[in-house]
Amino acid sequence: MRKQDTMYEKYLADNPEYLWLELGRLSGSSLPGGAGAAAAPTSLLPPVSGLHSCQYCPRTFYLRSDLTRHVRIHTGEKPFNCPYCNHATARKSSLKKHLLSKHTPAITTNF
């Protein structure tokens, strides 16, 4: 069992008022308000200790790198710059896609 799963189960045991969320998810039944259990937003779940919380919204993440990537949505930071044009991205994978789609001849001739 993963550490985050154990932390979540402990939180549910300590806070039974949130147990209905987990029971609804496991059984596939509807949540209060008519929303399906699978569509329950994660913001309904309270933060569990040990998680990294976004300072701009209620989202939490197990990994700090996921939080760093998420915060860029709010701040608009784009630290990955194309060396061939003025294009910038928030994710390294997006820059790789840009390089392959827009600058493939330049990449192959520079090696």
- DSSP state letters, the chain: --HHHHHHHHHHHH-GGGHHHHHHHHHTPBPTTS-BGGG--GGGSPPPTTPEEPSSSS-EESSHHHHHHHHHHHH----EE-SSSS-EESSHHHHHHHHHHH-HHHHHHT-
Residue 52 has pLDDT above 70, yes or no: yes
pTM of this prediction exceeds 0.75 = no
* Same domain, residue pair 52 and 21: no
pLDDT digits (tens, 9 = 90+) for 88-97: 999 999 999 9
CATH of the domain at 72: 3.30.160
Residues 16 and 54 in one domain: no
Domain that holds residue 70: 47-77
The structural domain count of the chain equals 3
My answer on whether 86 and 73 are in the same domain is: no
Determine what percent of the chain is predicted with pLDDT higher than 90: 40
Mean pLDDT of the chain: 73
